Structure 1
Amino acid sequence: MSQTLAPTNPAATARWVETLRDGSQVLIRPMHADDASAERAFIRALSSESRRMRFLGQIGVPSDATIERLTHVDVATEAAFVAKPVGGEDGPIVGVARFGMDRSNVRCECAVVVDDHWQHRGLGTRLMQHLIDVARQRGVRAMYSIDAAENQPMAELARYLGFTRRSDPDDRSQVIHELAL
């Protein structure tokens, strides 16, 4: 169940309360610059496997430049949403989804990551559904993600959301999931 709290410009102002499969609720809202310390803590708290799948490589402590790039969202070309438990909005981030437009401004690359303790509840699906809606509102024609071929949770999420899957011609250890919007 979703409840939109401020629908005017979803990429910049929307807030949604989502009830997940286990009955827990999260607030999904746009990422902003003052999420920097929470974003750093979120990334550090991910398991090494979750960090590897999200960033397609092993990272430990994210650099200041990485955190700045992730939290300073250019709303003209990007969208990024964070999820926090309802009642704990000042607490930790438990999920993040984002996209960035490519040079054509008709395609965007997306990514989603969910805290290990919040996986398998439907949070990644909810985050991606909002991201897809915003991309459609902006006139984006296709959304894609580049993922590790072994990333089964992403393969299942992509299939569920209607993405197609193909091998990455530049790197056989990766796949490209794509959704026509």
Structure 2
Amino acid sequence: MTGDWEIAPLRSGDEALVRFLVARLTPQSRYRRFRSSSPMPSAEVVSHLARPDGWHHIALVAYTPGVREPIGLGEVFRDAAFDDGEAAILVVDGWQGRGVGAALLAGLVDAGRGVGLRRLHGEFLAEHRAVRRLLVRGTVGTRFIPDAGTTTFEAAI
């Protein structure tokens, strides 16, 4: 356990957990993560997010202690380049700004290193400054590349 939550691997096939988390995001948070105003990603996207294998797709869930309510999800998808992975994190609104995203990022970095990843990358909305702060604190040598409302990041792990 870290702080007021615990981090554990997502059980493969747990689509209900992914839907539970997405349903607890505000429209703004949902848009920032999925870039869609839809209340729920498509069934195909949910299925994809809920199928980690620990090698090509790493997924970690943050839970509250005790009742173990899911409050965040961090994922890395390995690229065709063996040692690169695309990272994404979501934290339900009531838990944002409390270190859950940082704990998920740290867990993803450790798990990624454990399967041979050397770099993470991803894209976020440029307006989402909290993501930039999280990456600066949680990764080494992070490079930010701005582009028309979005920012791409590349980080050594």
Deviations 1:62-115, CA, capped at 9 Å, x for gaps: 3322221111113221100011111012xx310000000110111100001111
Are the counterparts in 2 of residues 108 and 144 from structure 1 also a CA contact under 8 Å?
yes
Task: Confirm whether residue 27 of structure 1 aligns to residue 6 of structure 2.
Answer: yes
CA distance in 1 between partners of 2:135 and 2:118 (Å): 17
CA distance in 1 between partners of 2:125 and 2:62 (Å): 24
Shift of 1:28: 0.9
Partner residue, 1:10: none
**Structure with more relative contact order (C-alpha pairs < 8 Å, separation 6 or more):** 2
The TM-score normalised by the length of structure 2 is 0.91
Partner residue, 2:37: 58
* Equivalent AA in structure 1 for residue 78 of structure 2: M
Pairwise mapping of residues 73-84 of structure 1 onto structure 2 (< 5 A)?
A: 73-84=52-63
Partner residue, 1:127: 104
CA distance in 1 between partners of 2:132 and 2:62 (Å): 21
Partner residue, 1:93: 70
Partner residue, 1:110: 87
CA distance in 1 between partners of 2:43 and 2:115 (Å): 30
The TM-score normalised by the length of structure 1 is 0.80
CA distance in 2 between partners of 1:84 and 1:55 (Å): 21
Deviations 1:153-175, CA, capped at 9 Å, x for gaps: 1111112123221124xxx2211
Partner residue, 1:148: 125
Task: Please say which structure displays the higher CA radius of gyration.
Answer: 1
Unmatched runs of 5 consecutive residues or more in structure 1: 1-16, 20-24
CA distance in 2 between partners of 1:61 and 1:159 (Å): 30
- How many matched pairs? 155
* Equivalent AA in structure 1 for residue 18 of structure 2: E
Q: Rate the CA distance shift 1:122–1:61 in 2: closer, same or farther, 3 A.
A: same
SS of structure 2 residue aligned to 1:18? coil
CA distance in 2 between partners of 1:103 and 1:81 (Å): 21
CA distance in 2 between partners of 1:116 and 1:105 (Å): 34
